[in-house]
């Protein structure tokens, strides 16, 4: 699926692609629920385009070989820090060639090299050929490895959102470690290549000895590469994972769906946007950040679905929850917070109340809209879990159990109750978000002028 997404820009990226490396606790056991939703009725103002976020960068046209552009980029790279606000670094990653291909292409090219013309002495000619072939082999391997080292961005120059994606999907430190291993491999190949090329060029060697030195040198480089070349394949895999990450445009207003697991976030994303996340009656169905798009009155907006949040401290959160917090912390999104008071989702209303209060306080700057989901299942008696401590009950919680937060819209994806109102309110919210983005952009421009 991931590969299909890479090769076919029209193919939707499934959140599982992103999260293959994430913890597998609570993984959905093969549920397929695409038919669970009723036919959606479109709001007259809304026009939906057809794609979930895809990676349409020039992957298909990408080249393994460093181009003039990439060489230029690597030259200018260290002249100053990259602006932190830039996103989209993953779409500019160089194409990585599988280690097998690097080695065999290098061997093929090196073996085609002949001695410098005009050397009459056979031993001298062989020494010259051997040194040239070893030098060529070393360079053919070292050049692509150096390109990777130079063109994979330094994590500290990335936008904090992309930095979080790297840490949470690849594991902390893994990205730098793999790049480091690739560079160590390059250095070893260069050093062994040089050493054996000069051994082969020794004036005292006979033709046969020079031949033996050449074979020895090639074997040694091949051995090193076979032993440590898997770092290149790890890098190739990292590049694939990162390129498949949803692309976010910081200038386009974004609606981010947040809430406890299984409350109906993805069902609402499916209804509101082009995003088609998986929907299951199972917590942590959504295992990555997924982007969809909505066009409202000729304006484009982004919608992101996120993994659910549990009631626990940050240090106990899994990487899926951390991804959600990274989106809220680093992207200028408006929040659509989903509350399920039906007792269906598995997180008690009082736990949801605690998570909600924490998030609301923590992300107080975000534009915010609350929805109570699954209202088709709600009756007048608030749901109380047997595990809940009734002494801890208070007026605010009792009110929350019945109605959700003040001003929350009641919606149902099943009966479509409240959906028209939701769409209107989402539109208003995103228009306000759009004005905020423009405002902050013009403030930034003024700031630049004054500097
Ligand atoms: N009765 C009813 N069920 C709903 C409604 N909305 C969602 N569901 C069901 O609730 C379950 C969870 O829905 P999802 O949309 O996957 O919930 P989620 O919040 O994205 O879940 P995670 O990704 O696991 O956090 C599914 O079985 C849905 O069919 C609704 O309005 N009414
Ligand atoms: Mg979901």
Q: Mean pLDDT across the chain, nearest whole number?
A: 81
Residues 166 and 280 occupy one common structural domain = no
Query: Number of folded domains in the chain?
Result: 2
Ligand 1 center from residue 277 Cα (angstroms): 11
Residues 202 and 271 occupy one common structural domain = no
140 in Cβ contact with 105 (< 8 Å): yes
Verify whether ligand 1 is closer than 6 Å to residue 14 (CB atom). no
Q: How far apart, in whole angstroms, are the C-alpha atoms of residue 144 and residue 225?
A: 13
pLDDT tens, position by position, 292-328: 999 877 888 999 999 999 999 999 999 899 999 999 9
Residues 47 and 93 occupy one common structural domain = no
Question: Which residue's structure tokens are 């019945």?
Answer: 402
Give all strands of the β-sheet with 333-339 in edge-to-edge order: 46-47, 290-296, 299-305, 254-259, 333-339, 368-372, 409-410
Q: Whose CA is nearest to atom 1 of ligand 1?
A: 374
Q: Whose CA is nearest to atom 27 of ligand 1?
A: 281
Residues 128 and 230 occupy one common structural domain = yes
Verify whether ligand 1 is closer than 6 Å to residue 283 (CB atom). yes
Residues 230 and 252 occupy one common structural domain = no
DSSP string, 268-283: HHHHHSS------SST
Verify whether ligand 1 is closer than 6 Å to residue 266 (CB atom). yes
Where residue 111 falls (left for φ over 0; alpha for ψ -120 to 50; beta otherwise) is alpha
Ligand 2 center from residue 354 Cα (angstroms): 20
Contacts of 138 (CB under 8 A, 6+ apart): 189, 190, 192, 193, 194, 197, 221
Nearest-atom number in ligand 1 for the CA of 411 is 31
Q: How far apart, in whole angstroms, are the C-alpha atoms of residue 282 and residue 181?
A: 39
Domain presence at residue 184:
yes
Ligand 1 center from residue 293 Cα (angstroms): 20
Domain end (from 243, 265, 292): 243
CA pseudo-torsion sign 361, 367, 373, 375: positive
Residue 344 burial (10 A CB sphere; 0-12, 13-18, 19+)? middle
User: Roughly what angle, to the nearest 10 degrees, separates helices 174-200 and 160-170?
Assistant: 80
Residues 237 and 268 occupy one common structural domain = no
Residues 203 and 312 occupy one common structural domain = no
Verify whether ligand 1 is closer than 6 Å to residue 261 (CB atom). yes
User: Roughly what angle, to the nearest 10 degrees, separates helices 419-450 and 265-272?
Assistant: 80
pLDDT(57) > 70:
no
pLDDT(8) > 70:
no
Domain end (from 190, 212, 243): 243
Give how far the C-alpha of residue 22 lies from the chain's centroid of Cα atoms, to the nearest Å: 12
Verify whether ligand 1 is closer than 6 Å to residue 373 (CB atom). yes
CA pseudo-torsion sign 182, 186, 192, 196: positive
Domain presence at residue 61:
no
Other Cβ atoms within 10 Å of 115 Cβ, number: 17
DSSP string, 173-229: THHHHHHHHHHHHHHHHHHHHHHHHHHHT-TT--HHHHHHHHHHHHHHHHHHHHHHT
pLDDT, residue 85, reads 53
pLDDT, residue 74, reads 41
Q: Whose CA is nearest to atom 30 of ligand 1?
A: 374
Ligand 2 center from residue 329 Cα (angstroms): 20
Verify whether ligand 1 is closer than 6 Å to residue 376 (CB atom). yes
Q: How large is the average pLDDT for residues 237-249?
A: 91
Verify whether ligand 1 is closer than 6 Å to residue 306 (CB atom). no
Domain presence at residue 270:
yes
Residues 332 and 236 occupy one common structural domain = no
Domain presence at residue 69:
no
Please tell me the least confidently modeled range out of 18-22, 154-158, 421-425.
18-22
pLDDT, residue 192, reads 97
Q: How far apart, in whole angstroms, are the C-alpha atoms of residue 99 and residue 231?
A: 8
* Ligand approaching nearest to the C-alpha of 265: 1
pLDDT(390) > 80:
no
CATH number of the domain to which 308 belongs: 3.40.50.300
Q: How large is the average pLDDT for residues 68-77?
A: 41
Within 13 Å and on the Cβ side, how many CA atoms surround 172?
Answer: 2
What is the signed CA dihedral for 172, 366, 357, 380, rounded to 10 degrees?
Answer: -120
Residue 343, token pair as written in the block: 């007792």
Residues 159 and 307 occupy one common structural domain = no
Residues 150 and 263 occupy one common structural domain = no
Q: Decide which of 122 and 79 is more confident.
A: 122
Domain presence at residue 62:
no
Domain presence at residue 77:
no
Q: Whose CA is nearest to atom 7 of ligand 1?
A: 264
Domain presence at residue 237:
yes
Domain end (from 218, 243, 268): 243
Domain presence at residue 72:
no
Q: Whose CA is nearest to atom 14 of ligand 1?
A: 264
Ligand 2 center from residue 289 Cα (angstroms): 10
Ligand 2 center from residue 305 Cα (angstroms): 7
Q: Whose CA is nearest to atom 6 of ligand 1?
A: 264
Nearest-atom number in ligand 1 for the CA of 267 is 15
pTM value is 0.76
Please tell me the least confidently modeled range out of 6-10, 123-127, 279-283.
6-10
pLDDT(387) > 50:
yes
Residues 171 and 201 occupy one common structural domain = yes
Verify whether ligand 1 is closer than 6 Å to residue 341 (CB atom). no
CATH number of the domain to which 204 belongs: 1.20.120.1190
CA pseudo-torsion sign 146, 147, 152, 153: positive
Where residue 298 falls (left for φ over 0; alpha for ψ -120 to 50; beta otherwise) is left
Residues 322 and 402 occupy one common structural domain = yes
Ligand 1 center from residue 267 Cα (angstroms): 6
Query: Ligand 1 pocket: which of 280, 343, 418 to mutate (most atoms <8 Å of CB)?
Result: 280
Q: What's the domain range around 400?
A: 2-55+247-449
Q: How far apart, in whole angstroms, are the C-alpha atoms of residue 293 and residue 327?
A: 16
Question: Which residue's structure tokens are 């130079």?
Answer: 150
Query: 3-class DSSP state for residue 365?
Result: coil
């Amino acid at each position: 699926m991931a590969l299909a997404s890479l090769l076919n820009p029209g193919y939707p990226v499934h959140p599982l692609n992103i999260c293959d490396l994430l913890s597998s606790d609570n993984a959905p056991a093969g549920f397929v629920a695409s038919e669970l939703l009723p036919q959606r009725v479109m709001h007259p103002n809304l026009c939906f385009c057809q794609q979930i976020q895809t990676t349409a960068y020039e992957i298909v046209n990408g080249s393994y070989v460093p181009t003039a552009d990439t060489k230029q980029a690597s030259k200018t790279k260290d002249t100053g820090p990259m602006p932190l606000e830039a996103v989209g670094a993953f779409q500019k990653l160089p194409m990585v060639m599988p280690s097998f291909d690097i080695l065999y292409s290098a061997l093929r090219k090196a073996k085609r090299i002949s001695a410098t013309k005009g050397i009459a002495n056979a031993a001298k000619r062989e020494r010259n050929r051997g040194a040239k072939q070893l030098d060529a082999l070393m360079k053919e391997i070292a050049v692509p490895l150096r390109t990777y080292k130079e063109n994979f961005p330094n994590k500290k120059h990335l936008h904090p959102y992309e930095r979080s994606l790297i840490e949470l999907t690849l594991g902390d430190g893994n990205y730098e470690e793999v790049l480091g291993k690739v560079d160590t491999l390059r250095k070893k190949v260069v050093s062994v290549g040089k050493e054996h090329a000069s051994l082969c060029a020794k004036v005292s060697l006979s033709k046969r000895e020079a031949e033996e030195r050449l074979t020895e040198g090639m074997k040694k480089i091949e051995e090193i590469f076979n032993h440590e070349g898997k770092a290149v394949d790890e890098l190739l895999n990292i590049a694939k994972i990162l390129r498949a990450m949803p692309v976010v445009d910081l200038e386009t207003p974004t609606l981010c769906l947040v809430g406890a697991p299984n409350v109906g976030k993805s069902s609402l994303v499916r209804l509101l946007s082009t995003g088609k996340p998986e929907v299951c009656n199972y917590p942590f169905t959504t295992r990555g950040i997924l982007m969809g798009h909505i066009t409202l009155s000729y304006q484009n907006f982004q919608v992101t679905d996120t993994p659910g949040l549990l009631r626990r401290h940050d240090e106990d959160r899994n990487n899926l929850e951390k991804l959600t917090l990274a989106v809220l912390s680093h992207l200028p999104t408006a929040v659509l917070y989903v509350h399920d008071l039906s007792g269906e989702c598995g997180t008690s209303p009082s736990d949801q109340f605690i998570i909600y209060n924490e998030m609301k306080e923590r992300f107080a700057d975000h534009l915010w809209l609350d929805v109570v989901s699954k209202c088709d299942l709600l009756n007048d008696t608030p749901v109380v879990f047997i595990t809940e401590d009734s002494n801890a009950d208070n007026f605010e919680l009792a009110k929350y159990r019945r109605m959700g937060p003040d001003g929350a819209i009641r919606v149902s994806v099943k009966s479509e109750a409240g959906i028209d109102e939701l769409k209107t309110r989402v539109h208003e919210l995103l228009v306000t978000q759009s004005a905020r983005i423009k405002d902050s952009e013009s403030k930034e421009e003024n700031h630049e002028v004054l500097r």
